[in-house]
Structure 1
Amino acid sequence: MDIMMGQPFAVCERGGRLNNEDSVYPQPEVSSPKQRLFIVCDGVGGSEKGEIASALACESLQTYFSSFLQGNPTEEFINQAVKYTESRFDDFVSSNPSAKGMATTMALLYVGTNGMTLAHIGDSRIYQFRKGQILHETVDHSLVNSLVKLGRIKPEEVSSHPQKNVILKAISGTENPVQAEVTLITNVTPGDYFFMCSDGVMECFDDKALSGLFEKNVSSDLLKTEVLEACNNISRDNFSFFIIPVNNVQETVSIKHFILSFFYSFI
């Protein structure tokens, strides 16, 4: 499968906070259609700790992918990348004890030859849209989502719940190891959009509003502008997102399949 992307658009902004604890990879100004790996991290820990955690996670994950990936990333490979990142956190905290307790969410997308591999930890989210319809949405590792699953609260109560920002999983170091939730999306067609975001974006959009936005027949650049304007006007948090359009998808034919097809054509 050869997935050809359009120009990705990204934003990583301070929003209503004093400092920006979000980080993204690649940086918005260097993102291109040839990019395969995309990461959004939302740091926690207060002051500059969250900022360090998210930046260190983006850098460590990217380093692991660029150094060791052969072919398409498997669930095992991605969780090895997470373990490597946790060890990098340990090293940093060992040299900087005041950073103890820092942590970060992770949303990761890889454009492969077998489809789109999605992985997440915490409440940074990834969507797949087709003509505005949500085909896939990652499920937050959060307290309120667990309460919904248990029937303790209703889905419509999530946005106003006093503990809506409490997450149950985050990258923080080897003392508290976590596993990423990994999904391979093979149902990918031209015109699809993948949207990655930190929870600051979700202060401004629910699923219905996002569907309405991605249903519009407008350019990716205009979609970025609309999301950015809404976040600037509403969000009290840092906010980061990637808009990743799919331009074309071609099925690749293996050499073995080609030879067999050629042989049977003469029978």
Structure 2
Amino acid sequence: MSQYKIEAGTGQHLGDRQEQQDRVGLFAAPKAPGYMMAVLADGMGGRTGGSMAAEQVVRTAKQLFDEFSPATGAVDDMLQTIAREAHTIIKLSGITAEKEPHSTMVVLVLSPEGTAHWAHVGDSRLYRFNGPNFAERTIDHSFVERMVAQGKFTPEQAKNHRLSNILVNVLGSMREEPFVTLGRYDGLRAGDAFLLCSDGLWHYFTDEELGAAIAMNGPRQLSEMLIRKARERAEGTMADNCTMAMVKLVVPPPEDKSYTVQKMRRAV
């Protein structure tokens, strides 16, 4: 019997925008039993363009995951292919529509061997927690994070900098090919958890707050609480969409061993 079971869910809020340009999904793999995927994309590019770009990321991820088999492919190769194919289709769609849509991407895949793989492009984030303890997160492909890496900004300065929404890596760019940052964690166990979220959510919380919240709540309760709190902290200025996906590993219920010979006979 598995040492953990997976609880997962998603949540979204429009914020103060007229259109929801984020997309999120949770998927199983038909040809890879025991594998699961969470994917989140934040589209940009004006009315309908951003939503189209984000939709293309999620659609591409699902199509490739439907075709994935560990007997013939590697998870990291699939993640790279998702980004590459989504980028190409978004770029071509932009040419056809005479627009320049972009999207971020963050994808998580869990395997039955107890390994987590993830990939991201842009500033949609993945957080990993051990119980309530923050373990790591993806580093945004943004101007301010580049300045932090160079020692020119502190993390506190970067968070509220006026250029904090300037990205240096996106899917769909006409000028540059995107790069994909991969991550991996082995030895998954009950108590581990992952949070995927757009910048419309993570901007309002510390790493420690997110860890405590995910440890104490199931998917529905977590999404309702975080979105409500984000809107409160925005104080009426929450202009961006707010989207998240939670994947939490919990102790499975005890196996029922109450069957008796008489009960089995009646069942037969």
Shorter-chain TM-score range: 0.7 to 0.9
Aligned to 1:118: 118
Check 1:5–1:143 CA distance in 2 against 1; reply closer, same or farther (3 A cut): farther
1:254 is matched with none
How far is 1:69 from its partner? 4.1
Q: TM-score, normalised by structure 2?
A: 0.80
- For 1:75 and 1:231, the matched residues in 2 are separated by 33
Deviates more, 1:119-128 or 1:34-43: 34-43
* Identical columns (%): 20
Within 5 Å, give how 1:81-230 maps onto structure 2.
Answer: 81-97=82-98, 99=99, 101-114=100-113, 115-172=115-172, 176-216=176-216, 218-230=217-229
Larger mean CA deviation between 145-154 and 240-249 belongs to 240-249
Q: What do the CA deviations read for 1:62-90 (whole angstroms, capped 9, x no partner)?
A: 11221244357432332122222222224
Deviation of residue 9 (structure 1)?
A: 1.8
Alignment root-mean-square deviation, CA: 2.4
Counterpart secondary structure, 2:66: helix
Contact 1:5 1:244 in 2 (8 A): no
Partners in 1 of 2:35 and 2:231 — Cα distance?
A: 27
Distance 2:75 2:193 in 1: 22
Residue aligned with 2:210, SS: helix
Residue aligning to 1:58: 58
Question: Which secondary structure state, in structure 2, belongs to the residue aligned with residue 211 of structure 1?
Answer: helix
Inter-partner Cα distance in structure 2 for 1:189 and 1:7: 13
Distance 1:60 1:175, change over 3 A: farther
CA contact (8 A) 2:26 2:36 kept: no
Q: Which of these residues, 217, 222, 238, is aligned with residue 241 of structure 2?
A: 238
1:175 CA drift (Å): 5.6
Cα distance in 2, alignment partners of residues 237 and 141 from structure 1: 18
- Deviation per residue, 1:87-113 (Å, 9 max, x gap): 22244234322x3x2110001001113
Instruction: Give the deviation of 1:2 after TM superposition.
Output: 5.8
Q: 1:142 to 1:59 in 2, by over 3 A?
A: same
- Identify unmatched segments of 5+ residues in structure 2: 28-33, 253-268
Change in Cα spacing, 1:11 to 1:221, as seen in structure 2 (3 Å) is closer
Shift of 1:211: 2.8
Whether the 8 Å CA contact 1:22–1:42 is kept in 2: the answer is: yes
Report the alpha carbon displacement of residue 39 of structure 1 after superposing the two structures with TM. Answer: 0.5
Post-superposition offset of 1:59: 0.6
1:171 maps to a residue whose letter is L
Task: Give the equivalent residue in structure 1 for 2:78.
Answer: 77
State the alpha-carbon separation in 2 of the partners of residues 63 and 119 from structure 1: 17
Structure 1 residue runs of 5 or longer lacking an equivalent are 28-33, 250-267
Q: Deviations over 1:1-54 (max 9, x none)?
A: 967543312112211212111111139xxxxxx771110000111222111110
Aligned residues: 240
What's the CA shift for 1:173?
5.5
